[in-house]
Amino acid sequence: MTAFPTGPSLPLSLDWEDWYQLCCPPFDAADAHDRFEDRLERATDLALELCADLGARGTWFCLADQARRHPGSLRRIADAGHRIALHGFTHARAFQLDEATFRASLQAGKAALEDITGAAVTGFRAPEWSLRDSAEDWWRLLPELGFAFDSSRAPLKVLGDPAWPRRPYRLPNGLWELPPPVMGLGPLTVPMWGWAMRLWPAALLRARLEALAAERAGTPLVLHPWELDEGQPRLPETTLGHRFAHAAGLKGYGSRLRRLWRGLALEPLEDWIRAREAAEVRVAEPVLAEVHS
Ligand SMILES: [Zn+2]
């Protein structure tokens, strides 16, 4: 295996959606934005503040319908030096759409985000890691729609497949896939984000994070801005499982992350890919020179 130059850093991703945007009723209804309190601007401020305190820049996977409701917030994210990528036109799971609708929603979503910030959108993450089930191979549509990378394939049961690689790789059409970090083996594999990042022992998480950063593993950290909003209402009408995954450990999470992530160089996914591609060229150049000499 080729050794690439390393420097301790990790990609950082933020899924830009509001606190109530679960992919299930009643939160996925067409009128959900009117039924639940709009707290996205507040959550955005908290996440921007966290990033500024940590000296971190990240890739924000954004919903186009929320960007149209909050264009000023989207611009503030971009103006702070972060990259904007697409999380969907709406927060509907990919496999709940037909292929033509999925394609059209990505086209319209990318255009809407680019119109607002003026910057190219080249990354995609499906809501709830939903490039699975009937949408499992829809990554093949992404390059022709103008995307260079995806971060939707979670190597986990339920949300994806534990057999999928745990490190970034290129899919057969050249698209980069940057899977989120997990820990554990087989049925005991857990995500390294959300409830696990909020509740797992800090010393254990910190050791894992330092190891991933030292390896320059390329597995993006995942944060939802609403996870920093301690004043959000309780989710109504949800199962115990949903409530646990959504709300457990929210109190003090901002302070916890400031300690857990301190000193790590956190960068947009685009930067990790660019550095990796440059390293690959540097490794390939002497080989090519030898062939031509
Ligand atoms: Zn989401």
pLDDT tens digits, 158-191: 899 999 999 999 999 999 999 999 999 877 899 9
In angstroms, what is the span from residue 105 Cα to ligand 1's centroid?
A: 15
CA–centroid distance, residue 17 to ligand 1 (Å):
6
The per-residue pLDDT for range 115-146, each reduced to its tens digit, is 999 999 999 999 999 999 999 999 999 999 99
- Ligand 1 centroid from CA 15, angstroms: 6
Is a pLDDT exceeding 50 seen at residue 25? Answer: yes
- Residue 2 is predicted with a pLDDT of 45
All domains in the chain, ordered by first residue: 9-292 (3.20.20.370)
CA 187 – ligand 1 centroid, Å? 24
Whether residue 160 contacts residue 134, with contact meaning beta carbons closer than 8 Å, is answered with no
C-alpha 293 to ligand 1 mean position (Å): 52
Distance CA 231, CA 228 (A): 9
pLDDT in tens, 44-56: 999 999 999 999 9
CA of 126 to the centre of ligand 1 (A): 7
| Helix spans in the chain (H) | 32-35, 40-54, 64-69, 71-79, 99-117, 194-199, 202-215, 240-247, 253-260, 269-292
Q: What's the 260 CA to ligand 1 centre distance in angstroms?
A: 23
Omega before 26 cis (within 30°)? yes
pLDDT given for residue 1 in this prediction: 40
CB atoms within 10 A of CB 157: 11
At 93 the three-state DSSP class reads coil
Rounded (5°) CA angle 221-225-231? 135
Residue 7 pLDDT grade (very low, low, confident, very high; cuts 50, 70, 90): low
3-state SS class at 157 = coil
Distance from residue 43's CA to the centre of ligand 1 (Å) = 14
Q: Measured in angstroms, how far is the CA atom of residue 87 from the centroid of ligand 1? A: 7
CA 3–ligand 1 middle distance (angstroms): 34
Distance, in Å, from the CA atom of 130 to the CA atom of 97, rounded to the nearest integer, reads 11
Report the separation in Å between the CA atom of 279 and the middle of ligand 1, taken as the mean of its atom positions. Answer: 32
**pLDDT recorded at residue 5:** 42
Give 87-114 pLDDT, tens digit per residue.
Answer: 999 999 999 999 999 999 999 999 999 9
What pLDDT sits at residue 236? 80
Q: CA 132, CA 130: separation in Å to the nearest integer?
A: 5
- Expressed in angstroms and rounded, the spacing between residue 4 Cα and the centre of ligand 1 is 32
Contact 44, 77 (CB under 8 A): yes
**CA dist 264 → 47, 53, 206, 215 (Å):** 16, 12, 10, 12
Q: Is the dihedral of CA 202, 208, 211, 213 positive or negative?
A: negative
